Amino acid sequence: MGMDIYGKAATTEAGSYFRNNVWWWRPLADYVTGTYPALTEACTYWHSNDGDGLNAEQSLALAEAIERDLASGAVAAYAAQYEAALAALPDEECTICHGAGVRTDEIGRQHGYDVPRDEATGRGGCNGCQGKGRTPSWATHYPFSEENVREFATFLRECGGFEIC
């Protein structure tokens, strides 16, 4: 699933369409709404595909604010802090094996995941956690990058307003 953002009156091809899958969109939307609340408040449903969005003037104002922060290094600093916060999250108990490191369900038995992992062969152990019983925090599935912000700013500058569909 993804968020398809359509320009209402695009002036270039870059302004006609912007897409992020849900993993990339959530941190981007959280960033712009958290950093620029006054510029983003006209769009209520950033995390919904219901057609909400900003008009041309609002989109351009948001693009200009983002571009200033890209130029100043503020977006890069946010990205570094975001990555550091994700890296600091503790691992979580594996939801497949419930921390046991082996799968005792039918699928686990069928595929040989119901025995402790043999590191020499790479066989056995839970396929969800490679026999460790723990996995990275779910939040690590939501990446953030300066490049994604840059592409969104380009879209905003050239979209003539947008709708999230």
Mean pLDDT on 64-80:
98
| 14-18, 97-101, 120-124, 156-160, range with the lowest pLDDT | 120-124
Confidence of residue 13 (pLDDT cuts 50, 70, 90): very high
Confidence of residue 147 (pLDDT cuts 50, 70, 90): very high
Residue 77 has what pLDDT? Answer: 98
Confidence of residue 51 (pLDDT cuts 50, 70, 90): very high
Q: What is the overall mean pLDDT for the chain?
A: 96
Q: Which residues of 15-46 are buried (b: 16+ CB within 10 A; e: fewer)?
A: bbebebeeebbbbbbebbeebeeebbeebeeb
Q: Work out the angle between the directed axes of helices 74-88 and 146-159 (0-180°, nearest 10).
A: 130
Confidence check: pLDDT of 156 > 90? yes
Spans of all domains in the chain: 2-87+142-164, 92-135
Confidence check: pLDDT of 93 > 80? yes
Question: What whole-number percentage of the chain has pLDDT above 90?
Answer: 94
Distance of CA 107 to the CA centre of its chain: 30
Choose between 119 and 80: higher pLDDT: 80
Mean pLDDT on 85-110:
96
Beta-carbon count within 10 A of 103 CB: 26
pTM over 0.75: yes
Confidence check: pLDDT of 122 > 90? no
Confidence check: pLDDT of 1 > 80? no
Confidence check: pLDDT of 119 > 90? no
Mean pLDDT on 151-163:
98
Amino acid at 3: M
